[in-house]
Chains A and B, each alone.
Chain A
């Protein structure tokens, strides 16, 4: 199954279509956010083969994927990085004027006393005008794509952590886990501090110690 999946995922025609979709989604998101302040960058990517195979065969997925080529929804995914926490909601609202979401999640640690990955995730239908030619005619393409919205500090924690976790051993030693939690907590704290600075610059007095 692994080989079949690898071959299907890498098929030239399919890859070309995923790339076309990536380009048209990037253009549309850039147009939707044009002129908005505090948007650091917009990027889209097509999922790499190793990442796709890892997800497709992940034994913890319940129920397991019966057709990963169709079901895995972040094969084409985009990310919008914004400066401040308040921009996350604002950008999400803008994007929901362009796309219809089938799922919206605020990824964050399950417990209040924990620090870790935070991001806003949207799974959206691919709008008809952005579908590459023959997208619906094939039966091996996803009907949806993923959008993530996060602050620069959320990203500063998430991206290196993901890279290290991906390349490193499965089980991290307690000391390293604690280091990562500290980075996550610091990123969270930096976002909160920036939120207070933003409030202050908007003329809203908040009860910060330096007030």
Chain B
């Protein structure tokens, strides 16, 4: 795709101010250096491995301020694209409070046939040194009007498609700060500015995690891997963190074969990277029982909370199980399951 349009604005946080100040900036003439820079930034952002998001749209019109602006930037006239870019820059300013740094906001549109890729970037203001050495005289100059291209505080969003009713409704977001956090301040880029929600809803993500764990559990042969998967279930249920992706989960809790089988059960790369908010009651409901089959033909079905208490398992490659409790009911069935 070719870089077709580029806009840049200096944005100052103004959410807590009574009036949003006008932003400085506008269209940038595209040259080969900028083409290379945008291309490099897109490559390094690695969007296929970033969070999938869905734009929150008016369900009767499919419109949202962001979608409208992005479509205008992608397909509108040059003047329309400039107005829409400025609106986005102003909206970004109004979304940021003093906890965020002033930034350079860049809107880059790439085109190929009737397809467009619109990328939105913020690069935080930084300080840099310029060192000069001439004829034995050395000097350091502090530059205050620079913006960091590689900062961990940079953010980006990518939306792409054609000018169709069904397209430009989802995108990818790079935001290292938001990551695990669920609050609106940490998520100002995605929720306040872009007005997006996670593409994997809480319930779908929770069912996905349960399903993936179940598949990994079935695929793993060793008791040690089963223990690790079970330990991960227990740990995530009580973890303070609410937002997870399957990739985060594997990294946090799983190693060796358990991890390999878990990752093998993930449907696709987009899913691996996309976060969701764990619905704990639903997760408990889905993984409510751990079922053991013993060499004697006996099945033991236990809620996770009883493992290690009334249901005791020994360690090792051939673990043994013992359980004790008062019988309060019994059923006669032809088969176990």
Query: Looking at the complex, which one of B169, B207, B270 makes contact with A131 (CB distance below 8 Å)?
Result: B270
Query: Looking at the complex, which one of B166, B208, B268 makes contact with A144 (CB distance below 8 Å)?
Result: B166
Shortest CB distance A3–B (Å): 23
A129-B268, A136-B270 are contacts. A100–B201 as well, Cβ < 8 Å? yes
Within 8 Å CB of A125, what residues of B?
54, 169-170, 199
Q: When the two chains form their complex, are residues A98 and B204 in contact, meaning their CB atoms are under 8 A apart?
A: yes
Stretch at the interface among A38-46, A63-71, A185-193: A63-71
Q: When the two chains form their complex, are residues A129 and B271 in contact, meaning their CB atoms are under 8 A apart?
A: yes
Number of B residues near A (Cβ < 8 Å) is 29
Encoded as 1 (CB less than 8 Å from any A CB) or 0, chain B from 5 to 47 comes to: 0000000000000000000000000000000000000000000
Q: For this complex, into which size category does the number of interface residues on chain A fall?
A: 20 to 34
Shortest CB distance A36–B (Å): 13
Q: When the two chains form their complex, are residues A129 and B166 in contact, meaning their CB atoms are under 8 A apart?
A: no
Chain B: CB-nearest residue to A122: B59
Q: When the two chains form their complex, are residues B270 and A98 in contact, meaning their CB atoms are under 8 A apart?
A: no
Chain A: CB-nearest residue to B270: A128
B133 at the interface (CB under 8 A from A): no
Q: When the two chains form their complex, are residues A133 and B203 in contact, meaning their CB atoms are under 8 A apart?
A: no
Within 8 Å CB of A143, what residues of B?
161, 166-167, 169-170
A71-B166, A128-B199, A131-B270 are contacts. A28–B62 as well, Cβ < 8 Å? no
Stretch at the interface among A49-57, A82-90, A101-109, A111-119: A101-109
Complex: how many Å from CA A100 to CA B200?
8
A71-B166, A125-B169 are contacts. A101–B59 as well, Cβ < 8 Å? yes
Could you list 8 A-B pairs, sorted by A, with CB under 8 Å? Answer: A98-B204, A100-B199, A125-B170, A127-B201, A128-B200, A128-B271, A129-B267, A144-B166
A interface residues with partner B (beta carbon < 8 Å):
28, 31-32, 66-67, 70-71, 73, 97-105, 125, 127-131, 133, 136, 142-144
